[in-house]
Structure 1
């Protein structure tokens, strides 16, 4: 089997295992495209993306254009003579002309079971919606937003205590597996049969906004607990409670009836802070004060003994 000439386009940590799969199972990575370096950390110094860092460690050529719309950039990509372009959380829209450059087109690894959760935040939206299952799809890219036919997919359950962080890591590894399977078939001349996405079941995973982190106590406890897990590790759920703003790192919904006003602290103990909601009670088990570090509810109460009388 001849090695494929692969151009890889990706930026965050999610894409790192997929890049590794390109040279372990696909062939020769002739170039890596990633977002321009961005300010990060306390010093706000320009920082290379995780994909760029891995590429440089392996001596792979890196390109960081601000856009792929110019004829110059498209000519540079064409000169690489790629058999396939693999795109994983790249962060730039590929023009239609770019999609046509590789011999086998452009393949995308997407973190959902398409057509559910097309768009920017499929991992978080699946948890927020209470989905029992998700997965990764290897898709043949076309001009629409995540609308291309699915070539392969892998499924995984969403655990009741799953956070966006833990699911992200698992789907990242699954994405590398499904990509590796697709590249192996491509090298063997057995291109996976494309499965057009059905119109039924299309949902969109809109980009996360920091404002969403502010929880509304009038919502049901089940919905609030999902939001806490979906927004961890970013942007992290926030509430006003006990006269201060707290970030919530872990919470569970209790199926308890009551007549307390939503947002009322009804109990406080070593097991957590129990807060009335629009339906049921939310038990906060891990939290963070402004300027502080995440801590267990029991440790927080050591500093706030006044809440024990709640």
Structure 2
């Protein structure tokens, strides 16, 4: 594993972890959810390298204002900006070869913003995509349409103090039923709390508003020619399964997997399912590449 710092064009510093050989034909890039960090994917990354070995390289990173990454200029935390950050990470850490993109919650929305702004990158290099517990829009509808609700949301969210969170029995209980599907290991609960403690309140507030403004149904057809998996948790209270169904229905050939009993934290709750589905995309992408190389010019 190598840890790198990717500096964006607006001077934010993103903390990135790269596993695997630079000669691997496929790189899997993971984007995490709101208030979390790249370590959300630790179980999945370990499982993929155990199963696929040298056939993949994996890249996880902390979004600006999350984990060990800096926040960048005040007010810079928007979905288009997160998409530009993702593009920077790809350019520095995976400048060539096939890509599989995996996004959880806010991370899935970041993938949509990437497709909206850089469709050529999607068409030329992406051989698979996974959307986990995310949405293409209509989050908090119809409540968000109440006059003043979206405008007030950042001010309310700025009152939050993530660093004040502690792993108490009450906090873990609320998280078990609020974020998870009712069952969660103590280690996963404590790891989630620790990730949240590192989030910058200002960035959290700005991205909370960005989540409410996020409407990208029109972008989903960009994934029509890309093998796509949509994962939902039947007990997800933040992005209910209906959001995933709408994504799957809008992408030709997308595979929808609704996990019974799972909540919003599918990368923790169903890491083996994520490993399996990402592995299928990597293997099929590698096989297609080998076939193309075997065809005479």
TM-score normalised to structure 2 length: 0.35
Q: Which structure is higher in RCO with an 8 Å CA cutoff and minimum separation 6?
A: 2
Structure number having the greater strand percentage: 1
Structure number having the greater helix percentage: 2
TM-score normalised to structure 1 length: 0.34
